[in-house]
Structure 1
Amino acid sequence: MTNSQMEYVKRNQVKPSNLNIGRWQASTLAVSFVVGASILVLPTLAFEIAGPIGSIWAWLAMTAMTIPLILIFVDLGIRDFQLGGIGDYCKASLGKWSELGVHLTLLSALLFGIPAIVWITAGFFQKVIGIGNEWLPVLAHSILIALSLNNMRPIRSSTRIALLSFFVLISIVFLVITLNLGAFEVGLKEFLGTIFQITSWKSFNSGDASVIWENSLKASVLVFFGYVGWESLTLCLKDLEDREKNIPFVYWASFVSVAVLYFALALTVSGAATSGLNLSGEEGILKLISWKPLRFTLSVVMLVVLLANVNAWLLGGSRQLYQFFCSGLLPESSWTRSLATVDYRGVPRHAVVLYSVLGTFLLLGLDLGWISVSGLILFVNQNWIVLYGGILLHYFQQAKSLREYVIAFAAVMSFLILVSVFSWWLLVTLTYFLVSAGVRKFRFI
């Protein structure tokens, strides 16, 4: 605990655990970082790109490529814990010259992701309550303000919505699959049939199979957004009780939960779409519920999941902004010192306010049509890819055992696959990173 938190404990006679989060709350927070609007639309969008079989393989491929990342986060969280999380790992691997570039790349990834997921959440809310498009900006700004105020509370209180979201999510997915067991069975049979086909070298190299693999690779770029979020959890590990014991549990419990949810939905969507059901649009998987009153009820409940996702991104982003002002990269002043402080409960309130203001300006860009949601998501994904490379380098530098070298090799392979799928637009993020890092190198040193 920080000194301010210890003071608060003594003054108010509360248990120290009331200021931190346990393994289950941290696990549900991790799921909230990862799962949001993506659970609604990504399974159907992947189907549109890769078809019934290709979309399932896209989910499996991205799940497999995420495993080395989870292994690395667990190892680093236990043996090399850093308050700045993913940013500190990248700086340690690249050197002090990269400090500004790493901070701004990570901060911009979190910052540009916020208006995108707020806008998607507001759009879903708008469809549920049946109001006109002119209310969309009002809803978006209201959501951002309300959840920013929620993040003014201690982390244990502000993340309670994540626990509720997890049970809501499980319930919705269970209902969707239970009410569409026929579609789930069709999807599973098609998938198993493909596994048997590729055991034949001739079938594997046929024209149809090559189309499946090519389209699956394209869909995996989109699916990657469904696995973004565990990086942000590194910014909140300092608030986790008994880190060494709980870090492995939190990462693996959340990863298995997300992977099972996504794969089960991918099978169901594949079977339903093969049967001719149109699942496109904002409602996505909820179209699998044919009874309209139940679909409306689940749509309302789904808002809890979406709001928890926004809340988690706000939590991670405001913590990263706080770490940026603590880094000493900016000239010291009363303003920067104020933003580099926490209150008596350990909450960086000034950073939360500033982060909310910056998010509001970006939302105005969406209001006016100057930027698009898809463009923001693409930028966020590319930033994560660049930062992922920095983490891999840090882990490789710290590796000592054969196990660690095997994990590093597997992670590098998945990283190269992800990089190969992205277009030349990835150079935009690399240029942005190198320019900001160069400013640090030549201006401040």
Structure 2
Amino acid sequence: MSTGRIGVAQGTAIYVGAILGAGLLALPALAAEVAGPASVLAWGLLLLLCVPVAATFAALGSRYPDGGGIATFVYKAFGRRASAVVGYWFYFAWPVGGPATAYVGGLYIADALGGGTTTAVIASALLLAAAFATNVFGLQVSARIQLILVGLLAVMLLVACVAALRSADSENLTPFAPHGYPAIGQAASLLFFSFAGWEAVTHLSGEFRNPQRDLRRVTALTLVSIGVLYVGLALTCVLVLGPRLADTTVPLAELLKLSFGDAASAVTATLAAVLTFGALNSYLAGTSRLGAALARDGALPVWLAKGGAPGEVPRRSLAVIALSATAVTIVAGLLGADLGQIILATSACLLAVTVAGLAAGFKLLPNGRPMWWGAIFAALAMAVVLLFSGFFLALPVGLALAATLYTATSGSKRRAAAEPAAGTATEPAAAAGAAGDGPADWPEPVPAVGTGTEQAD
């Protein structure tokens, strides 16, 4: 991928590929379990909220076209410690969301093989192991192949929806909100797992032929594409599967079975497995580099920075992610956490990242302009959706405290190490750096603390 040579078509494919993920294979059923047929409103609500979100990130990306993404926006708006908090939210969300993503793919594989939970767990473990192995050896799945797979999945979704609509029944819309209308907010919080990724194109903004023009077009085309796919799939699932939707773990496979028989399940499972592996591989590559970058900038232990330079493999960061993911999976299994709870925890972190990026837009975009008002509205709206995360807000809150405490402690250690002997002429300089975010606290970084979405060609 040559610098400055990305056009609208390729940019749209990359953006859609960043948003469409394995989560959409399971989320229609999980959202229906929470809100019933009214979950369709949650899909539509999030799509509308994504308009100002996507527009804000496109505007920021065109103004600051570098690889830092939201963490860079937050750094420019609020300083290093706030940027470290955002980095923590994304870096430590992967050990929670990664296994959940793998398990979704495992469910489809188990469905195709006629297996149960054990088969799904084994399949998800193999998908995770393959993703880690690929990254440990420095190999990457071609972005072009991943985009082709996403395109095939999009076609399959459209075919499934169109073919299954002949079995639609309007009676499946009643009762419309069996758990009350407030449940729509909780469903929206859950569904954000499939709407995360709007910040992804900001990492590539410097490679567009004309960022000022192309980012707007890419954003508009992406909104239309995911709107058709997401809302179409959600509405079709509700109309066709009805009460069965909340009880199935593979809604797309159920739709295909209605039209193409049992053979459709194997096809869906294969594509789901490849899509899941592609998502795990690319996001793991970016998240591991993020960990190394955070360590380089003083937000994580310095030994974790090894392998973070271009062309190197951040194996220590990968090891931390692997151990964290294993620990989270074990704890989730012991506590009996279900897939919806795990996704809610991940969504809480991703929502927090999005709110932080929108708040940065409020600070950085020109005051009083439509885009500025859009950033304010989107930040407030997403903050409300974030509140529906309920108990799972404890995860981003805990990570924010951890990032703040670690950066404060590391800053104190840096100042202590740099303090001269009493009575030397450099005391004023040391005192000047003790405020908190100044040069004595932090090394001047390369503005590349990413959000885990960088992909290799």
TM-score by length of 1: 0.78
* CA separation of 1:354 and 1:29: change in aligned 2, threshold 3 A: farther
Letter in 2 for 1:88: T
Residue from 390, 396, 409 that aligns with 1:423: 390
- State which of 46, 53, 56 in structure 2 corresponds to 1:62: 46
| Cα distance, 1:131 vs structure 2 | 4.9
| 1:123 maps onto 2:93 in alignment | no
Q: Gaps (5+ residues) in structure 2? A: 412-440, 442-457
Which residue of structure 1 lines up, in the alignment, with residue 293 of structure 2?
323
How far the C-alpha of 1:286 sits from its partner, in A, is 1.7
Does the alignment pair 1:350 with 2:318? Answer: no
Considering only aligned residues, what root-mean-square deviation do their CA atoms show, in Å? 3.4
More divergent stretch after superposition (173-182 vs 28-37): 28-37
For residues 301-340 of structure 1, the C-alpha deviation after alignment (integer angstroms, 9 at most, x for no partner) is 33333233323322431342343244254576xx556423
Alpha-carbon distance, 1:257 to partner? 1.4
Q: Is the 8 A contact 2:6 2:208 kept in 1?
A: yes
Determine the C-alpha separation between the residues in 1 that align with 2:71 and 2:279.
21
Q: 1:272 is matched with which residue: 231, 234, 240? A: 240
Choose between structure 1 and 2: higher helix proportion.
1
For the pair 1:48 / 2:18, whether they are aligned, the reply is: no
* Partners of 1:325 and 1:336 within 8 A in 2: yes
Distance of aligned partners of 1:239 and 1:117 in 2 relative to their CA distance in 1, 3 Å threshold: farther
Equivalent residue number for residue 88 of structure 2: 104
Q: Evaluate the alpha carbon distance shift between residue 245 and residue 147 of structure 1 in structure 2; reply closer, same or farther with a 3 A threshold.
A: farther
Q: Give CA deviations for 1:9-43 in whole Å, capped at 9, x if unaligned.
A: xxxxxxx7299865544433333332223222212
Task: Indicate the residue corresponding to 1:10 in structure 2.
Answer: none
- Shift in alpha-carbon separation, 1:21–1:113, aligned structure 2, 3 A: farther
Instruction: Please give the alpha-carbon distance, in whole angstroms, between the structure 2 residues aligned to 1:80 and 1:185.
Output: 49
1:395 to 350, 355, 361: 361
Return closer, same or farther for 1:149/1:439 CA change in 2, 3 Å cut-off.
Answer: closer
* C-alpha distance 164-331 of structure 1, shift in aligned 2 (>3 A): closer
Please say if 1:17 is aligned against 2:2. yes
Cα distance in 1 for residues equivalent to 2:83 and 2:238: 44
Q: Percent identity?
A: 21
1:264 maps to a residue whose letter is G
Asked if structure 1 preserves the Cα contact closer than 8 Å seen for 2:43 and 2:230, the reply is: yes
1:360 aligns with 322
The question of 1:304 aligning with 2:253 is answered no
Distance 1:326 1:422 in 2: 32
Say whether the 8 Å CA contact 1:25–1:162 is kept in structure 2.
Answer: no
Tell me which amino acid in the other structure corresponds to 1:342.
P
Aligned to 2:24: 39
Q: Distance in 2 between matches of 1:319 and 1:73?
A: 22
- Residues of 2 paired with 1:110 and 1:20: CA distance? 31
**Equivalence for 2:351:** 385
Contact 2:39 2:184 in 1 (8 A): yes
Structure 2 length normalisation: TM-score? 0.76
Distance in 1 (CA, whole Å) between partners of 2:87 and 2:131 is 24
Cα distance between partner residues in 1 of 2:305 and 2:72: 20
| Change in CA separation of 1:129 and 1:178 when aligned onto 2, cut-off 3 Å | same
Judged with a 3 Å threshold, the aligned counterparts in structure 2 of structure 1 residues 134 and 32 are, in CA distance, closer, same or farther, namely same
Report the CA distance between 1:418 and its aligned residue.
0.9
SS at match of 1:381: helix
Asked if the contact 2:237/2:251 (under 8 Å) is kept, the reply is no
User: Quick one: distance in 2 between partners of 1:30 and 1:302?
Assistant: 19
Contact 2:105 2:272 in 1 (8 A): no
| Aligned residue number for residue 227 of structure 2 | 259
Match among 293, 302, 312 for residue 263 of structure 2: 293
Q: What is the deviation of 1:358?
A: 3.2
* CA distance in structure 1 between the aligned counterparts of 2:87 and 2:13, rounded to whole angstroms: 26
Q: Determine if contact 2:131/2:281 at 8 Å carries over to the other structure.
A: yes
**Per-residue CA shift, 1:90-132, capped at 9, x if unaligned?**
2333323334333222211234322221232233323323456
1:79 Cα deviation after fit: 0.6
Mean Cα deviation higher: 415-424 or 83-92: 415-424
Unpaired segments of 5 or more residues in structure 1? Answer: 1-15, 192-206, 344-348
Q: CA–CA distance in 2 between the matches of 1:218 and 1:128?
A: 31
Task: Classify the secondary structure of the residue corresponding to 1:229.
Answer: coil
- Alignment partner of 1:216 is 2:205: no
Q: Residues 260-293 of structure 1: CA distance to partner in whole angstroms, max 9, x if unpaired?
A: 101111221121134x655632321221222112
Rounded Cα–Cα distance in structure 1 between residues aligned with 2:159 and 2:402: 49
- The answer to whether the 8 Å contact 1:235/1:319 transfers is no
Distance 1:79 1:279, change over 3 A: same
Change in CA separation of 1:379 and 1:218 when aligned onto 2, cut-off 3 Å: closer
Report SS of the residue matched to 1:230: coil
- Identify if the C-alpha distance between structure 1 residues 433 and 337 changes in structure 2 by more than 3 Å, giving closer, same or farther: closer
Matched residues, number: 403
Give the equivalent residue in structure 1 for 2:218. Answer: 250
2:298 and 2:410 in contact (8 A); partners too: no
Equivalent-residue separation in structure 1 for 2:3 and 2:386 (angstroms): 42
Q: Deviations over 1:328-384 (max 9, x none)?
A: 54576xx556423112xxxxx422x34443343244332573574545423322222
- Pairwise mapping of residues 133-212 of structure 1 onto structure 2 (< 5 A)? 133-134=117-118, 136=120, 138-148=122-132, 150=134, 158-183=142-167, 186=170
